[in-house]
Amino acid sequence: MAPLSSIRTSGDKIEIVNQLLLPHTTEFIEIDTIQQAHDAIKSMKIRGAPAIASLAALSIASHLSRALQASPAPEFLSSPSALKEHVEPQLALLSTARPTAVNLGAATRRLTKTLDAAIDAGKDARAIAADLIAEGRRIDDEDVVRNRQMSKWGGEWLVERVKKTGATGADLNVVTVCNTGSLATSGYGTALGLITYLHETGKLKQAYYTQSTPYHQGSRLTAFELQTLKIPSTMLCDSMVGSLFQHHDIHAVVVGADRIARNGDTANKVGTYNAAVLASRHMIPFIVVAPISTIDLDVPNGSVIPIEQRPALEACLVRGALYPPTTNAQGIKEQATVMVTPSDLEGVYNPSFDVTPSDLITAIVTEKGVAVKKDGENTFDLTEVV
């Protein structure tokens, strides 16, 4: 079966898979407006740093493409300044949907740059809109290509590194956190892409993935993707990483990223830091795989990365299919959301991400290659990479 993709487009029509219902129900939702794109990102119907950036960019492209075909033409196509006045608030709305993933802000900033460049070049409103449409679609298209590239760089680097320890570099056991595959990107994935690459080249023995509570990106989404791709895999609860490292031969931890500071400190799904500390204790390489657009050179270190706090209620709920399975009259598996805590729990700590300091990170892989720290240094200098 082909891997799922988070977004499908046909002309100006955009649909996303409602990730809140996966893996039991595959429901596509049409995204017709920029407000709907914003809401889908905020409610995590679509999630994963590159995927939310793609949806934001595509929603602008589709909105403007429909406007160009409309008759009569909307007022905002009457002049470059009217278009700017219309588009800028839409980009601002999209960029606020989730604060940690820098790709979203990078995509909207890129579109702002396109807008300003086209205005400076003296283009009329329709030509400026056409430039924005092309750039929006480009942001989505380029994601898959770079994911394949970084997965290959990272996979080859890991195999060579393992070989240096005297092992064959085959039969690798690799751990990941959260979901970084097709559902989190426009296709193939970042950290899960690296795992897929190892599998495709016959180097992977077993992929391990944490459940990644409270949203369960691991047990719902990564499990589904690995099962679909027929990649041998094992799920573990977030609290079992230390035990896994004590009792199994693990060759690497590979994770994605939502924002990487200039010195390499990396914000990723909460629980990533725990895995990094344990990996360091067990001398297991810890590898971050992310596109260049995830590196934020304006942020010197992880202490200033904004960390999204999710609603307390989300940490009190578990969502899934009824067990034993029950199907409704349409043959669809019944799902439910249940509360696993006492009602109205007062104290709940629910950050969506944590920051792994660069000293715990062995390598940062982007579409440009593999960055490692200079000998004797604890941090990366990513100005040299971007």
Among the listed residues 49, 128, 172, 276, the single contact to ligand MRU using CB under 6 A? 49
All residues at 6 or more sequence positions from 337 whose CB lies less than 8 Å from its CB, including other chains: 317, 318, 319
Piece of the chain touching ligand MRU by CB under 6 A; list 10-18, 48-56, 70-78, 313-321: 48-56
Piece of the chain touching ligand MRU by CB under 6 A; list 74-82, 133-141, 242-250, 254-262: 254-262
Piece of the chain touching ligand MRU by CB under 6 A; list 55-63, 78-86, 89-97, 252-260: 252-260
Decide if 302 contacts 169 (C-beta within 8 A): no
The DSSP bridge pattern shows strands 353-356 and 266-269 to be antiparallel
All residues at 6 or more sequence positions from 53 whose CB lies less than 8 Å from its CB, including other chains: 101, 103, 104, 106, 107, 139, 143, 293
CB of 352 to ligand MRU, least distance (A): 5
CA separation for the pair 84, 70 (Å, rounded): 18
Can residue 48 be called a binding residue for ligand MRU (CB under 6 A)?
yes
The secondary element (H helix, E strand) that includes residue 155 is helix 125-164
| Site for ligand MRU, residues 329 to 368, rule: CB under 6 A | 352
Can residue 108 be called a binding residue for ligand MRU (CB under 6 A)?
no
| Per-residue binding letters, 171-200, with ligand MRU (x by CB under 6 A) | -------x-x---xx----x----------
| Per-residue binding letters, 208-237, with ligand MRU (x by CB under 6 A) | ---------x--------------------
| Site for ligand MRU, residues 132 to 171, rule: CB under 6 A | none
Which residue's structure tokens are 């920051």? 355
Q: Please give the residue whose beta carbon sits closest to ligand MRU in the complex.
A: 256
CB of 310 to ligand MRU, least distance (A): 8
Among the listed residues 5, 17, 34, 50, the single contact to ligand MRU using CB under 6 A? 50
Order of all β-strands in the sheet with 28-30: 7-10, 13-17, 28-30
Piece of the chain touching ligand MRU by CB under 6 A; list 55-63, 118-126, 253-261, 367-375: 253-261
- DSSP label at residue 384: G
E strands, the chain, are 7-10, 13-17, 28-30, 172-176, 204-210, 233-236, 252-255, 259-261, 266-269, 286-289, 295-296, 317-321, 335-339, 353-356, 363-366, 369-371
Integer CA distances (angstroms), 314 to 29, 217, 340, in order: 22, 13, 11
CA separation for the pair 266, 262 (Å, rounded): 9
Can residue 54 be called a binding residue for ligand MRU (CB under 6 A)?
no
Output 131 or 258, the one with its CB closest to ligand MRU. Answer: 258
CA separation for the pair 359, 55 (Å, rounded): 33
**Does residue 354 have an active-site annotation?**
no
Output 215 or 245, the one with its CB closest to ligand MRU. Answer: 215
Which among 258, 265, 296, 354 is annotated as catalytic?
Answer: 258
Among residues 136, 233, 139, 249, which one has the least CA distance to residue 179? 233
Enzyme catalytic residues: 258
Contacting residues toward ligand MRU, per CB under 6 A: 47-50, 101, 178, 180, 184-185, 190, 217, 256-258, 268-269, 352
